[in-house]
Amino acid sequence: MAIKVRETACIEVESGNVQNKAPITLTAVEYAALSSSLAMPSKPLSSEVKQAIANYKKINALRVR
């Protein structure tokens, strides 16, 4: 199994069917678009999601983290 260590210390396993995808690289234009979307205020939640959240709060679940 070939393992390549990037300068950023991210390890990519190039075979073995574990994480065999190429790293995502961004051009300057794509990075600008991403930065813009990160800087924008979040859109209001739809009434459908608000209802889903209300239902979520009613689910009696034990969370073990």
Partner 1 sequence: MGGNAEQPRYVLEKMTKLHNVSSFDCQNTYLNGFLQGKALREATRDLSLTFVLMDEAVSSTSVIGYFTLRSDSYYPDDNSEVDIVPVVELVALARDRTRYKQGIGDFLLIEALRNVKLVADLIGIAGLHLAPTREGRRLYYRYNFAEHPLSYRTDLLFLPISTIREIIRSTEE
| Interface contacts to partner 1, rule CB under 8 A | 8, 10, 18-19, 23-28, 30-31, 33-34, 37-38, 40-43, 45-46, 48-50, 52-53, 55-57, 59-65
Report how far residue 62's alpha carbon sits from residue 57's, in angstroms, rounded to the nearest whole number. Answer: 12
Is the Cβ of residue 14 or residue 45 nearer to partner 1 in the bound state?
45
In the complex, least distance from residue 14 CB atom to partner 1, rounded to whole angstroms = 14
In the complex, least distance from residue 22 CB atom to partner 1, rounded to whole angstroms = 10
15-28: buried (b, 16+ CB within 10 Å) or exposed (e) per residue? eeeeeeeeeeeeee
